[in-house]
A = this chain, B = another copy of it.
Amino acid sequence: MHEVVEVEMGADRPPARSERADARRNRERLLSAAEEIFLAEGAEAPLDAVAKRAGVGIATLYRHFPTRQDLLEALLADTYDRLGAQARDMLSAESPGQALLDWLRAFISQVTAFHGMASSALATLETARLSDSCHRMRLSGETLFLRAQAVGEAPADLAFIDVLRLVGAIAVAAERDPATADRLLAVAARGFLSPGDDAGRPRSSPRGSRSGERRRG
């Protein structure tokens, strides 16, 4: 773990290998078109519409993205890059627990940009070979989590990937209702942001774990 990740602009976008100009251009067009279409109609929208919007043939779409999930993952890559950056920015926050919670809220928010996106995101968490973007985001998020663990604001016997799974699940379940997502996150947060597991934490961390974001009595 913690391998160097070879940030050579990633294998996400272009494999860096010689890529013809038209191929790159069409790829970008397809991504833009897919984003527009999916935002408007959800991730189940017909792929023909995406190709048409991009101004390319359907075969070109399939050549670049053999499956719908590939296309969705490419879209997710941007989101993951953004989230990774946000996580890094939050490292300087005063309360590690609060920072983690804020970041997870952002995660839900961004991963529910269109209908069906959260499902794809959840799927990417389980794929054997995840994209660089997803991997980097996970590492960045995990850093937030480890910091919370270090100060006893998160249980020590918990893996970050499971936190991400749980929050991803919430995103899927409440993708159409941000208020519900918020409530479910608040409940879940009590599970992974307890003020110390046992071992008698000096429970002097008043914020974050409870009562910060309760809604609906």
Q: Which residues A178-217 have CB closer than 8 A to chain B?
A: 180, 183-184, 187-192, 194, 208, 210, 213-217
A128 CB within 8 Å of chain B: yes
Residue contact B169 to A173, C-beta cutoff 8 Å: yes
A188-B188, A215-B159 are contacts. A174–B165 as well, Cβ < 8 Å?
yes
A1 touches which of B166, B170, B215 (Cβ 8 Å): B215
Interface size class of A (residues with CB under 8 A): 35 or more
Residue contact A128 to B216, C-beta cutoff 8 Å: yes
Complex: A163 Cα to B155 Cα, angstroms: 21
Complex: A165 Cα to B155 Cα, angstroms: 23
Q: Which residue of B lies closest to A187 (CB)?
A: B191
Q: Which residue of B lies closest to A201 (CB)?
A: B198
| A contact patch SS | helix
Complex: A159 Cα to B187 Cα, angstroms: 10
Question: A200: shortest Cβ distance to chain B, in Å?
Answer: 12
Residue contact B159 to A214, C-beta cutoff 8 Å: yes
A6 CB within 8 Å of chain B: no
Complex: A157 Cα to B37 Cα, angstroms: 40
Residue contact A166 to B162, C-beta cutoff 8 Å: no
Complex: A216 Cα to B126 Cα, angstroms: 9
A165-B174, A173-B169, A173-B172 are contacts. A157–B214 as well, Cβ < 8 Å?
yes
A169: chain B residues at CB < 8 Å are 169-170, 172-174, 184
A1: chain B residues at CB < 8 Å are 215, 217
Residues 117-148 of chain A, each 1 if its beta carbon lies under 8 Å from chain B, else 0: 00000100000100000000000000000000
Residue contact B180 to A213, C-beta cutoff 8 Å: no
Given contacts A166-B173, A168-B173, A190-B191, 16 further A-B contacts (CB under 8 A): A155-B190, A157-B208, A157-B214, A159-B214, A159-B215, A162-B180, A162-B187, A162-B213, A165-B173, A165-B174, A166-B170, A169-B169, A169-B170, A169-B174, A187-B192, A188-B191
